[in-house]
Structure 1
């Protein structure tokens, strides 16, 4: 194999989401203000910045204002301010009750917030980063962590280009590059595969509650101009999930006659027959939601896991040679169901810590002070105040957990003298199939509900067909010999993209992986009850290509 090309930088950033881009911008802002020369490189596995970005998204502008105080004059794509904010309890497939404003936990109020496309915000942030001198390389996946002789992280190795499915080199093969840096920032988003390795390698999450996750499924619709209500925010709880799973739904009206609709399903659910995708299809038929989608056209689809463990699951964020930030670390505030402002703040704090370390000319070391910096910032205080939001919902359910959180947040501002923890990993909560009944899911009508393959088509997902599978099985026998008999192989249902199937061949059941369908949501890596599936990055630029998501 050819020798790898080596490129060296002062700072390397892995991932072009809000955390990584904010870190890139802030470190260059400081360097320019003090007339210092610092080289910063950012690599992003998507075909372009924003291609893999998926979020609701309602955004608090606080962190953006810290980063770019004149963001409005600069043209940041925050165009739709919230002007209607509703929370509904859905009691059945037709019944609903609207909560009065005073009944809603204050953390869920959206006064002053903006409905945005997070992908478009990231594209804008990338433009600012490049104008500040950051080298931004989309289409390059960080495949492996590079360690030096002392065990410190010295950078990453990008994925090889041009490998065949059997691992052989095709024509035009290009080995990945070794990107070295004095400090590496990992900001891959929720359940980043390198972040996962770092947590295990350096025991960053030792003594912490396990991270908890939700699966967010989202669609973008074009609606008739007469139905467009820019600034309208609708959140729902209850049906269709009911007692089967925690979570809730959302529908937001954007500018340009577009609506986003989605469902978040907590991944600690017990019933192996539950399908988050099918629950979402049911959800769109509720009158509270369907009235906004009349005569509308679905234009995009996507899904992504959400790290929602919050304060109790926040790991040590530094290690020798770098830091892990944003949703890679789990900085989302679950009480607000918002993670953009917190991810951006974590990136800015990381940039400031690394900039100071570079100026000290000390040898690359563990930036241990960064952890205190995070915890003493408004980011840390937000997460600490919201520490009970998720574990209480897990213990008491959506209704009574919501009641506790209303009391905790509205009356005591997160100050009740109790701390709850959920120490059961999401995958371990799944129960045997013989304890459960499969929910009834109707055939899609092609108007509001759709099959998985037509949905994946709208995600613009593409992978080079002849390449190694990026969904690795530790033991190829487990899906059939264990998961099928115990759990009716739930990968068929928890995957929102039809990646996993049980097919019959020669009178035998075969576990089939349609990796070309993968939309990089990471649910399989999280929810597989045997923890047998490991998601690794495919060839650079592979995966979804989300527009305006």
Structure 2
């Protein structure tokens, strides 16, 4: 292990014990932490729950533009409205457009699959919702450590997961310790929950070690780009949700776009390209720029 010389030089790592350690302070990790604390309260017991978040603050790495179905939140925190959850803009209209270079054809809403029907859902900033979930978790006694990425998985002698190690601090650009160097801390737990997202580095290690993808279909990935625009108030329609398929992508390339009208004259505009495309010259960023010139999209962004 590359850390062995460091351990010899700086001594053993400090450690902390918890009942549950959760890696990742996103919606999944925080919701799990909240539910664990709720269940413990219902049974009248105390459990120690810790959340590690690599970002400088909870929500710092949450970049998605999002339409949220509140059903899960209704079950987790039924009084979320009274507690000030930032779900303020209810979806007012759904549009799904098939684009050609110069025109757009809207699909009748009754033909849309259920996942494109957003009646009762909310246009949100997922980063703000995540920050709010962090506040609810801390109120329940969850310990959240922002700015501490999990760097390594710890194992018991029988091969089961023992916990994780946080990254070393005070490492220079050359990878060598500086005068401010501190060893990472070991967090031991009865249960370790990994909520790193779609492609976390610890998740990849666990997948290889425990053969988690054996006999599974290949995972499909896409590249998403998002921008936040402040537009002309005359063109702003709070709660309008637009999805598109087609141009500027070729028929054999998976992808599409979203344009969500939030509050404060803001829209979230984004473009997604599946990473299975075969054209080596395709640039998702350049396709995104072309997409914004389409008459049906440009109409909102001009000015």
Which of 266, 273, 276 is matched with 2:281 structurally? 273
Tell me what 1:40 maps to.
49
1:256 aligned to 2:264? yes
Distance (Å, rounded) in 2 between the aligned partners of 1:226 and 1:96: 22
| SS of residue paired to 1:291 | helix
Whether contact under 8 Å (2:94, 2:116) holds in the other structure is no
Q: Please report the TM-score for the alignment, with normalisation by the length of structure 1.
A: 0.53
Please report the RMSD computed on the Cα atoms of aligned residues, expressed in angstroms: 1.0
After TM superposition, give the deviation of residue 38 of structure 1 in Å. 0.2
User: 1:139-178 counterparts in 2 under 5 A?
Assistant: 139-178=147-186
- When you count helix as a share of all residues, which structure comes out higher? 1
Deviations 1:473-493 (A, max 9, x none): xxxxxxxxxxxxxxxxxxxxx
Which of 188, 194, 198 is matched with 1:180 structurally? 188
After TM superposition, give the deviation of residue 219 of structure 1 in Å. 0.4
Tell me what 1:400 maps to.
none
Distance (Å, rounded) in 1 between the aligned partners of 2:95 and 2:188: 49
Which of 92, 98, 101 is matched with 1:89 structurally? 98
| SS of residue paired to 1:130 | helix
Which sections of structure 2, spanning at least 5 residues, go unmatched?
1-5
Which of 23, 28, 31 is matched with 2:40 structurally? 31
After TM superposition, give the deviation of residue 172 of structure 1 in Å. 0.6
1:16 aligned to 2:25? yes
Q: Please report the TM-score for the alignment, with normalisation by the length of structure 2.
A: 0.95
- When you count strand as a share of all residues, which structure comes out higher? 2
User: 1:47-126 counterparts in 2 under 5 A?
Assistant: 47-92=56-101, 94-126=102-134
After TM superposition, give the deviation of residue 244 of structure 1 in Å. 4.8
User: 1:425-440 counterparts in 2 under 5 A?
Assistant: none
| SS of residue paired to 2:47 | coil
Distance (Å, rounded) in 2 between the aligned partners of 1:145 and 1:133: 25
Deviations 1:139-172 (A, max 9, x none): 0000111111111111111111111232211121
After TM superposition, give the deviation of residue 222 of structure 1 in Å. 1.2
Distance (Å, rounded) in 2 between the aligned partners of 1:274 and 1:258: 29
Which of 7, 14, 17 is matched with 1:5 structurally? 14
Distance (Å, rounded) in 1 between the aligned partners of 2:65 and 2:132: 18
Tell me what 1:530 maps to.
none
Tell me what 1:133 maps to.
141
Distance (Å, rounded) in 2 between the aligned partners of 1:270 and 1:224: 38
Distance (Å, rounded) in 2 between the aligned partners of 1:23 and 1:98: 39
Which sections of structure 1, spanning at least 5 residues, go unmatched?
296-549
Distance (Å, rounded) in 2 between the aligned partners of 1:262 and 1:248: 9
| SS of residue paired to 2:237 | coil
Moved over 2 A (4+): 224-227
| SS of residue paired to 1:136 | strand
Distance (Å, rounded) in 2 between the aligned partners of 1:266 and 1:277: 13
Deviations 1:230-282 (A, max 9, x none): 10011100001122510101101001111000001011111121111111111
